[in-house]
Chains A and B, each alone.
Chain A
């Protein structure tokens, strides 16, 4: 088996928790605010409730977001907040991706 090219190593090194498009969108939205309610996250990502719940659970398990539960009157309201680890992971992912993308003028 031939050794992998450095670029391919870099691709395989991408954080797969963050790399998944839905989770990347969720983290991007959370990074743009202090806290975000479930309903807005669902509308802006276009994900179904089940899909969104599944992805947020994975991100929470990775320590990238926190779930905040509250009540508005008698209605339970779920919001999310990105953690420092989540912000760092997103930042590192952006950095890795930029390094992989071809510069302007390159094929």
Chain B
């Protein structure tokens, strides 16, 4: 057994463990596809025969992130844990290098979400009371980004789970926000009252968010498929088990 073989064994173990910690393979690809469909559904006046404003579709869209979380766990159990559970070692050095970046990203997302949701809740929702009945109370919406802060103590201490949690919550919120925003379609001029300059800026933000989700979705599909192929290659590289 050469040092190269030993390195390869360690690398294989770490790769397999990664599928139980941060890589989701086909679930990531599915998440990307669901993200794209979610935005298209929310933008479309008629999606598969259901009017975009119908309560049924809105409720369906609310549940999509949770549905994805359930599917992700199912995919993980069915596809990526066939050889048993391997818990990844926390990589302290790597996480320490990354935690500032993670904290920065989380704070940025909180700021963007708060601004967008506040504009939406205080401007468009108040100006369109009948439609507001479909949406959770504005205060509840405004509290949503705070879930980003929950794993911060772990993140600072360098836990892998905290990073995964941030990504998961980030994906859920990225889906929920366009759903909240676009199930109440951006108004065309003349703008309703309460939809002033801040509203116009938010409108530009809407478009940016649509593009962001579409790009993220496409990248997630490519990345998920690539991860799945990596996993298949990992399985092929395992030795045959001895008899007896």
Q: Which residues of B (1-22) have their CB < 8 Å from a CB of A? A: 1, 3, 6, 9-14, 16-17
On whether the beta carbons of B13 and A32 are closer than 8 Å, the reply is: yes
Known A28-B6, A32-B89, A35-B86: A46·B13 in contact at CB below 8 Å: no
Nearest neighbor of A47 in chain B, beta-carbon distance:
B242
**Stretch from B101-109, B197-205, B233-241 that touches the partner:** B233-241
Residues in chain A near residue B17, CB distance under 8 A: 32-33
Q: How far is the CB of B137 from chain A (nearest CB, A)?
A: 41
Residues in chain B near residue A46, CB distance under 8 A: 238-242
Residues in chain B near residue A101, CB distance under 8 A: 3
Residues in chain A near residue B242, CB distance under 8 A: 46-48, 51
Q: Is A89's CB within 8 Å of the partner chain B?
A: no
CA distance A91 to B122 in the complex (A): 61
Residues in chain B near residue A43, CB distance under 8 A: 83, 238-239, 241
On whether the beta carbons of A38 and B84 are closer than 8 Å, the reply is: yes
On whether the beta carbons of B244 and A32 are closer than 8 Å, the reply is: no
For A21-38 the 0/1 string (1 means CB < 8 A from B) is: 100110011011111111
On whether the beta carbons of B9 and A28 are closer than 8 Å, the reply is: yes
Q: Is A97's CB within 8 Å of the partner chain B?
A: yes
On whether the beta carbons of B14 and A32 are closer than 8 Å, the reply is: yes
Tell me which of A36, A37, A97 contacts B3 (CB under 8 A).
A97
CA distance A45 to B3 in the complex (A): 15
Nearest neighbor of A78 in chain B, beta-carbon distance:
B84
Tell me which of A21, A31, A32, A47 contacts B241 (CB under 8 A).
A47
Residues in chain B near residue A61, CB distance under 8 A: none
Nearest neighbor of A90 in chain B, beta-carbon distance:
B6
Residues in chain B near residue A33, CB distance under 8 A: 13-14, 17, 86-89
Q: How far is the CB of B103 from chain A (nearest CB, A)?
A: 24
Q: Is B196's CB within 8 Å of the partner chain A?
A: no
Residues in chain B near residue A25, CB distance under 8 A: 1, 6, 9
Q: Is A39's CB within 8 Å of the partner chain B?
A: yes
Nearest neighbor of B85 in chain A, beta-carbon distance:
A37
Q: How far is the CB of A73 from chain B (nearest CB, A)?
A: 12
Q: How far is the CB of B240 from chain A (nearest CB, A)?
A: 6
CA distance A37 to B87 in the complex (A): 9
For A43-57 the 0/1 string (1 means CB < 8 A from B) is: 111111011000000
Q: Is A96's CB within 8 Å of the partner chain B?
A: no
Known A33-B86, A44-B12, A79-B85: A24·B6 in contact at CB below 8 Å: yes
On whether the beta carbons of B244 and A29 are closer than 8 Å, the reply is: no
Q: Is A67's CB within 8 Å of the partner chain B?
A: no
CA distance A40 to B241 in the complex (A): 11
Known A29-B9, A29-B13: A48·B244 in contact at CB below 8 Å: yes
Partner-B contacts on A (CB < 8 A)? 21, 24-25, 28-29, 31-40, 42-48, 50-51, 77, 79, 94, 97-98, 101
Partner-A contacts on B (CB < 8 A)? 1, 3, 6, 9-14, 16-17, 83-90, 238-244
What are 16 contact pairs spanning A and B, CB under 8 A?
Answer: A24-B6, A25-B6, A29-B9, A31-B10, A32-B10, A32-B11, A33-B13, A35-B85, A40-B84, A42-B241, A43-B83, A44-B9, A44-B238, A44-B239, A48-B241, A48-B242
Known: A36-B84, A40-B83. 5 other contacts (CB 8 A): A25-B9, A33-B13, A35-B85, A35-B87, A37-B86
